[in-house]
Amino acid sequence: MKGVLLAGGSGSRLYPLTRITNKHLLPIYDRPMVTYAIEAMVDAGVTDMMLVTGGTHAGEFFRLLGNGHEYGIERLLYAYQDRPGGIAEALGLAERFVGGDQVLVMLADNIVERSIRPVVERFSAQERGARVVLSKVVDPSHLRHLGVPELDGDGRIVRILEKPDDPPSSFAVTGLYFYDGTVFDVIPTLTPSGRGELEITDVNNWFVSQGLMELDVLDGFWGDAGESIDAYYEVNDFVRAHGANHAEPAPD
């Protein structure tokens, strides 16, 4: 399985912190934000990785990560997104790198408390299709700013709504996505959204429409440190107190 780490975007929601650097290079507790996503992938056994970034601070990732060996990465490639075209467009830049293999896509501002290895293992055993990772969110007002799945009586995803006024469930779609190689056939068929971007929700809803979408629900904390200044400090405070990417507790 290949890993694609998405670290682009303008970071406008964290301005003025992002005036001088890419948001994924801002510190979370005692190290740069992006290293937590790298750690999550490497600890789950995904060590063949591409980092996609953009903007005026792209070179700082080279200075921080180099060839990736210091972080447990076997092979690290870089791609540059020359305009803010959306998550799906950024993923499309990794097509030749992925080469038809399964791929884990992770937004580099997402931080989780528990290891994602069990999810990676379940997707590795999945014959085809896609898988998204959900997290329970108790505040409906927060869900209105996130992607939210509508579930049927069997707990399967019927559709995913982006920033719904009336959230159909209490789960958010996190920034961890799993796809088989057909995702690169789907991306060219997308129509840009109202903000002129290719949306990852449209990719996910295509797999839902084909009956090829599975899901996992995260155990423990999940935070999107790039969502807002308040979210950034909430994630920072959690990691400082509890850490991140812990191994799953042993069964009793």
Q: Using one digit for the tens of pLDDT, what is the confidence trace for 188-235?
A: 999 988 888 899 999 999 999 999 999 999 999 999 999 999 999 999
Task: Note the pLDDT of residue 47.
Answer: 98
Per the domain annotation, does 248 fall within a domain?
Answer: no
DSSP state of 54: E
As a whole number of angstroms, the distance between CA 121 and CA 118 comes to 5
Contact 226, 14 (CB under 8 A): yes
Task: Note the pLDDT of residue 252.
Answer: 43
Beta strands at 130-136 and 171-179: parallel, antiparallel or unpaired: antiparallel
State mean pLDDT over 81-85. Answer: 84
240 SS3 class: helix
State mean pLDDT over 123-148. Answer: 94
Per the domain annotation, does 14 fall within a domain?
Answer: yes
As a whole number of angstroms, the distance between CA 207 and CA 228 comes to 29
Per the domain annotation, does 177 fall within a domain?
Answer: yes
Per the domain annotation, does 100 fall within a domain?
Answer: yes
CATH code assigned at 214? 3.90.550.10
Cα–Cα nearest to 172, from 196, 198, 204: 204
Give the pLDDT band (50/70/90) at residue 20. Answer: confident
Query: Which tens digit of pLDDT belongs to each residue from 168-187?
Result: 999 999 999 999 999 999 99
pTM of the model: 0.94
Per the domain annotation, does 160 fall within a domain?
Answer: yes
Print the domain residue range for 102.
Answer: 2-242
Exposure of 107 in the CB half-sphere (CA atoms within 13 A): 24
Task: Note the pLDDT of residue 17.
Answer: 87
CB atoms within 10 A of CB 170: 15
Mean pLDDT of the chain: 94
What's the total number of domains in the chain? 1
Min mean pLDDT across 8-17, 36-45, 51-60 is at: 8-17
Give the pLDDT band (50/70/90) at residue 249. Answer: low
Per the domain annotation, does 156 fall within a domain?
Answer: yes
Contact 98, 105 (CB under 8 A): no
Question: Between the CA of residue 225 and those of 6, 11, 83, 103, 212, what are the distances in Å?
Answer: 14, 11, 22, 23, 29
DSSP state of 19: G
Q: Please state the length of the chain.
A: 252
Per the domain annotation, does 131 fall within a domain?
Answer: yes
Burial category of 141 from C-beta neighbours within 10 Å (exposed 0-12, middle 13-18, buried 19 and up): exposed
Query: Which tens digit of pLDDT belongs to each residue from 149-168?
Result: 999 999 999 999 999 999 99
Instruction: For residue 22, give every residue at least 6 positions away whose Cβ sits within 8 Å of its Cβ, in sequence order, or none.
Output: 7, 11, 53, 55, 57, 58, 60, 61
Per the domain annotation, does 83 fall within a domain?
Answer: yes
CA 151 to chain centre: 21
Query: Which tens digit of pLDDT belongs to each residue from 89-132?
Result: 999 999 999 999 999 999 999 999 999 999 999 999 999 999 99
